[in-house]
Amino acid sequence: MMRTRPLKVALLGCGVVGSEVARIMTTHADDLAARIGAPVELAGVAVRRPSKVREGIPAELVTTDATALVKRGDIDVVVEVIGGIEPARSLITTAFEYGASVVSANKALLAQDGAALHAAAEDHDADLYYEAAVAGAIPLIRPLRESLAGDKVNRVLGIVNGTTNFILDKMDSTGAGYQEALDEATALGYAEADPTADVEGFDAAAKAAILAGIAFHTRVRLDDVYREGMTEVTAADFASAKEMGCTIKLLAICERAEDGASVTARVHPAMIPLTHPLASVRGAYNAVFVESDASGQLMFYGPGAGGAPTASAVLGDLVAVCRNRLNGATGPGESAYAALPVSGMGDVVTRYHVSLDVADKPGVLAQVATVFAEHGVSIDTVRQQGKDGEASLVVVTHRASDAALSGTVEALRKLDTVRGVASIMRVEGE
């Protein structure tokens, strides 16, 4: 039997995502009520610019006083889609104090202060759900947190930023340079006027921290994630990747060490074989590849951003939290029992593609090979091309630690025959 008293929802933020949340709550009100077991009422919308016309939202629901809204005492669920650290953090903790559960899409805040927010939710017997914080509409957080709760996840490898994937896909398919591809992404609305958070990997790093924490039952903060942007990727890098049967993606990679005693989380451009499922992810789409003991390899794919896709994830969380509310229960909270140490990038083991500018004369290859050997880095393949006294030397390694490769490159720079290191790129997905 359906309860007649509605569950009241406060919406913090009414931008691209927030306006879609409000629209879906209104147009799908009957379906949401049937799925939850009670009506859901939009009780207030906190915004910065109250004069802006917001279609479908009664003017009397709009307020600029977000704190007063979450302190009303009759709010069941607060939906936070304003982003950033403050005032979002204070508003969420205040919501818990006044008896509300929270649905958030705030990846930056969760990556930085997720542990404290989970603790605050637990202290007040409230829910904290955030499916929309990673990969937009793709169901990912809940499968990791619930569906795979009985399994052991060893690796999460994914494309979690649509802007960078669009840019890299354009560079790969058309031969465009980075700036040209970025300009097209901006013109089409995929890139912000200031694309730094995307192209320098900050957005993906926050998502990697969240994914690693859930996958490995370990607290992983944003500062624990190695981050490298993709602004230095060139058309020449793509040409080299194609010669290897690869493409280039900006990847978020979270994995256990081979001995299982630690974990790492990192974001950087990488060559990935065309045979890998992630290589076929085009445009602004996202995809995440999960490897675990029992279930093997799983791939989650779909639109990773945008108002409607992200709102879909928010509404899914809203339904779950409202159901918990009706049942007098809460869903899964933070699981950090494993408390594994988070290792630095120096401990990461992978393959490398190293492109060197060298003198075109006898003995250069032998000198370079000796340096690799002295640092314990095994060479898989070498390709050399030369003309007019200058040459390019491309070395692809077997698996080696980042520390060993860094030492190798430092020694190579000291060789008189090495004019410079043109590029270094990791090779993943094998």
Active site residues: 207
Contacts of 392 (CB under 8 A, 6+ apart): 355, 356, 357, 358, 384, 385, 386, 422
Instruction: Please name the helix (run of DSSP H) or strand (run of DSSP E) that holds residue 365, with its range, or none.
Output: helix 364-374
Alpha helices in 124-195 (DSSP H): 141-142, 162-174, 178-187
Using only the alpha carbons of the chain, give its radius of gyration. Answer: 24
**Using CB atoms within 10 A of its CB, is residue 329 exposed (0-12), middle (13-18) or buried (19+)?**
exposed
Contacts of 192 (CB under 8 A, 6+ apart): 163, 186, 198
**Measured CA distances, 103 to 107, 113, 155, 322 (Å):** 12, 15, 27, 10
Helix (H, G, I), strand (E, B) or coil at 123: helix
Instruction: Please name the helix (run of DSSP H) or strand (run of DSSP E) that holds residue 204, with its range, or none.
Output: helix 202-216
Instruction: Please name the helix (run of DSSP H) or strand (run of DSSP E) that holds residue 209, with its range, or none.
Output: helix 202-216
Structure-block tokens of residue 113: 């202060």
* Spatial contact of 399 and 351, defined as CB atoms under 8 Å apart: yes
Structure-block tokens of residue 373: 């050997």
Structure-block tokens of residue 268: 């950087």
* Spatial contact of 298 and 290, defined as CB atoms under 8 Å apart: yes
Instruction: Please name the helix (run of DSSP H) or strand (run of DSSP E) that holds residue 214, with its range, or none.
Output: helix 202-216
Helix (H, G, I), strand (E, B) or coil at 233: coil
Peptide bond into 87 cis (omega under 30): yes
Distance CA 341, CA 94 (A): 32
